[in-house]
Homo-oligomer: A and B are copies of this chain.
Amino acid sequence: MEESSRPLDALNEARNKRVIIDLKNGHQYVGKLKAFDIHINTVLDEAEEREEGEVKRKLGTVFIRGDTIITISPE
Q: In the bound complex, do residue B40 and residue A40 qualify as a contact, i.e. CB atoms below 8 Å apart?
A: no
* Alpha-carbon gap, A9 to B61, bound state (A): 12
Binary contact track A4-22/B, C-beta < 8 Å → 1, others 0: 1111111100100000000
Q: In the bound complex, do residue A63 and residue B73 qualify as a contact, i.e. CB atoms below 8 Å apart?
A: yes
The range of chain A's interface size is 35 or more
In addition to A2-B61, A24-B25, 20 A-B residue pairs with Cβ atoms within 8 Å of each other are A1-B34, A1-B43, A1-B45, A1-B61, A4-B34, A4-B43, A6-B35, A7-B35, A9-B35, A10-B43, A10-B61, A24-B68, A40-B41, A47-B73, A59-B71, A59-B73, A62-B71, A62-B72, A65-B67, A67-B67
